[in-house]
Amino acid sequence: MSKIDLHSHSTISDGTYTPTELVRYASAQGVEVMALTDHDDVGGLAEARLVAEEQGICLINGVEISVSWNGRTIHVVGLRIDPTHGDLLAGLEAIRAGRLTRAEAIAAELDKAGVPGSLAGAREYALERVISRTHFARFLVAHGHAKDVKAVFKKYLVKGKPGHVSHRWADMSEAIAWIKDSGGVAVLAHPGRYDIGKNTLHALFTAFKEAGGEAVEVVSGSHTPDQYRLFADFARQYDLLASAGSDYHGPSHNYFDMGKLPPLPAGCVPVWQDWPEMALFDSLHCCA
């Protein structure tokens, strides 16, 4: 099992553990290097860092940015970003403002479908500045519209179903520029999750490369073992570094747990290969 996990969420976005609880949990699970990558917000990193120091675990400053590409929503993870960088902060703030407008539109759509009160309901679950579909999903579960969050995303909030609204996120190239200008590395998140065919996947990798992207999540809580191998091949083909992350959102979700990720497939070049902070973790075995 790998002791590195470079994708996770706290209550700052749509995770259910606070940054403090999340870092303590990661440490208890045997994780030694973790990135907190909240959606469109870096507001949890300072708190996470304090706890990481106390727990003796290495925290990588991260963020998961929502971008639009070719009419689709794609996620770009930034690792080793500077959470005080002006352009990055301004860009994230604009995305969060867009989320508020989108939340109002989602609520209006749900209202039309006979589900009233969802904006106030979702807000009760959105504890900080990010409001997401996950918060609507929790409200819908609590009100008996589906048995769990996963089931919500089959009946609501997705294309063709009640509560779906299309939304324009940041441009891929601007999000990658914010990440890189702040000193970070841009990682294409969970490419296996976008439900797109081979040709579109290749177009996505090409666009990501052209926009300055440098790495891809090969091992992800959203990928099957076949997809670990598939995206290890993509990483080689597109000369991208390889990352690994559970995308953990907390115990109440049937997401992949922390501390259970397998190592990167042989032949991958780990995204962390040149990170100075990894020198402290020399014993960490990176690849199969």
139's CB contacts (< 8 A; 6+ apart) are 118, 121, 122, 124, 125
Nearer to ligand AMP, 169 or 231 (CB): 169
Query: Nearest approach, Cβ of 224 to ligand AMP (angstroms)?
Result: 15
Contact pattern for Mn ion over residues 195 through 234, marking x by CB under 5 A: ----------------------------------------
Q: Which of 3, 75, 135, 138 binds Mn ion (CB under 5 A)?
A: 75
Closest to 83 measured CA to CA, from 56, 58, 49, 55: 49
Nearer to ligand AMP, 26 or 130 (CB): 130
Which option in Mn ion, ligand AMP, none does residue 138 bind, with CB closer than 5 to 8 A by kind? none
Contacts with ligand AMP by CB under 6 A lie at: 14, 39, 66, 132-134, 149-150, 153, 249
Which option in ligand AMP, Mn ion, none does residue 41 bind, with CB closer than 5 to 8 A by kind? none
DSSP secondary structure letters along 28-53: HTT-SEEEE--BT--TTHHHHHHHHH
Which of 16-24, 51-59, 162-170, 239-247 is the region at the interface with Mn ion (rule: CB under 5 A)? 239-247
DSSP secondary structure letters along 93-118: HHHHHHHHHHHHHHHHHHHHTT-TTH
- How many residues of this chain bind Mn ion (CB under 5 A)? 5
